[in-house]
Structure 1
């Protein structure tokens, strides 16, 4: 099974971003990186990402859904 991740950013100040994603599969899993990190012990996340422990502890454990 292949995994890929995406980071999408609208760099236009005047146009909306339109994103269409197509998969050649009958199954797609949407995984939140923030949620995954938040459910990992904070000390491990902080050490691995070289960030303050306080930042790792503040990551939200509930998946954030974006609806435009």
Structure 2
């Protein structure tokens, strides 16, 4: 797994869309982005910084 973070500022604020939507009332999220209960039930209220997606793999390209 690779992560790259670069900033030109001394200020850093992390915002998790997953956590933000989980802490917002369900009715507001559902009515604005038109998702069902399956999506809403999968959101996490606690921070979850790294999530592995089971259907994706990444192999770096080797240009030799």
Shorter-chain TM-score tier: 0.5 to 0.7
In structure 1, runs of 5+ residues without a counterpart are 1-16
In structure 2, runs of 5+ residues without a counterpart are 52-64
Cα RMSD for the two superposed structures:
1.8
What is the TM-score with the length of structure 2 in the denominator?
Answer: 0.64
Larger Rg: 2
Which structure has more RCO (C-alpha within 8 Å, separation ≥ 6)?
2
In the alignment of these two chains, the number of paired residues is 49
Structure 1's consecutive aligned runs of 4 or more residues displaced over 4 angstroms after TM superposition are none
What is the TM-score with the length of structure 1 in the denominator?
Answer: 0.61
Greater percentage in helix: 2
